[in-house]
Structure 1
Amino acid sequence: MPWRRASAARAPRRPTRHGRHGRQGRSSVVRPPLPPLDTRIDRFDLAVAGAAEFLRSAWSDLRDVRFEIADMPAAPDRDGIPRWKVLRDEKRIVVFRLPLERLSHLHRDDDLHRKMLVEGAVFRAAAEYLDRDPWDLGPERFL
């Protein structure tokens, strides 16, 4: 006797909210109400990248310069632990995260002042690269 398929009218239908195994769909691991993961390192990277993009757009001498982030310098200078290093021959500026975060004293320890500290270090490093005063890098911002 040949096998015949049951017609759709006679076959029981599952509700659409169930999956093919009869269970309800599973939720995602991270639900939308939870805030996205945001770490201190991510905020540091964003502050450096934002300041670097502003400086590159304002100064054509900095368009080919790479702004890099490192945790710590290899060895301290005779003046102490550097916050950044300018390598003109390699067209690189390296900003050191840990000395900036841990050795700098803020009068108010919040996200805005930490961001301003990082951006100020990027501006001072770029000014050292260009042999200029940091206040000359963005004069239209401060008028």
Structure 2
Amino acid sequence: MSRARPSAASTPAPVQRGRGRDRHGRGIRSSVTGPYLPPLQTRIDTFDMTVASTVDYLRSVLPDQLSDVTFEVAAGPASVLPGIGVERWTVYPAERRVLFYRLPIQRLTRLHRDDDLHRRMVIESCVFRAIAELLGKDPWDLAPDRFRHF
């Protein structure tokens, strides 16, 4: 059974909607937390803050060696290395630059306990290992007094 097609006269004119409205015309969405609470932190924000705080700590410990080093965060590497897999970071010694890949660090690392502390420790360990690779040192030699609490 075929349907009758609507004529051009019976189709409604397109509705003109202003900027900042969603497709149903209800207006701009508010934040999930509401106007009285601080905005939620995303995994991207947490990752960036963890990398930045770890780099700041290492710059305070090794100011001469890390003063001209640039640190960047990218979503992921452009390709997979055959036989190695997905890189967590890339070090460019000639440019004095370290590039961290957020998604492989966050998603491909197996944690024995999946909580905020262990996720932060994985990110910090990647930062320590990448900087150690740049400087040609062992990661434990970067800040030996950090883990001595006695």
What interval of TM-score do these two structures reach, taking the shorter chain for normalisation? 0.7 to 0.9
Residues 1-143 of structure 1 mapped to structure 2, 5 A cutoff? 30-32=34-36, 34-59=37-62, 60-78=64-82, 79-143=84-148
Q: Matches of 1:36 and 1:111 in 2, distance apart? A: 18
Q: What is the rounded CA distance, in whole Å, between the counterparts of 1:65 and 1:72 in structure 2?
A: 20
TM-score (norm 1): 0.76
Cα distance in structure 2, aligned partners of 1:91 and 1:35:
37
Offset at 1:141?
Answer: 1.1
* Unmatched 5+ stretches in structure 1: 1-27
User: Where does structure 2 lack aligned partners over 5 or more consecutive residues?
Assistant: 1-29
1:90 to partner: Cα distance: 1.1
Give the corresponding residue for 1:24: none
Deviations 1:46-86 (A, max 9, x none): 00000111111111211111110001111122311110000
More displaced stretch, 71-80 vs 40-49: 71-80
Letter in 1 for 2:75: D
Name the residue aligned to 1:20: none
Q: Which amino acid aligns with 1:96?
A: Y
User: Would you say how many aligned residue pairs link Structure 1 and Structure 2?
Assistant: 115
TM-score, structure 2 length as denominator?
0.72
Q: Identity across aligned pairs (percent)?
A: 53
Instruction: Look at both structures and tell me which one has the larger radius of gyration over its CA atoms.
Output: 1
Structure 2 residue matching 1:94: 3-state secondary structure: strand
Deviation at 1:35, TM superposition (A): 4.0
Distance 1:119 1:95 in 2: 11
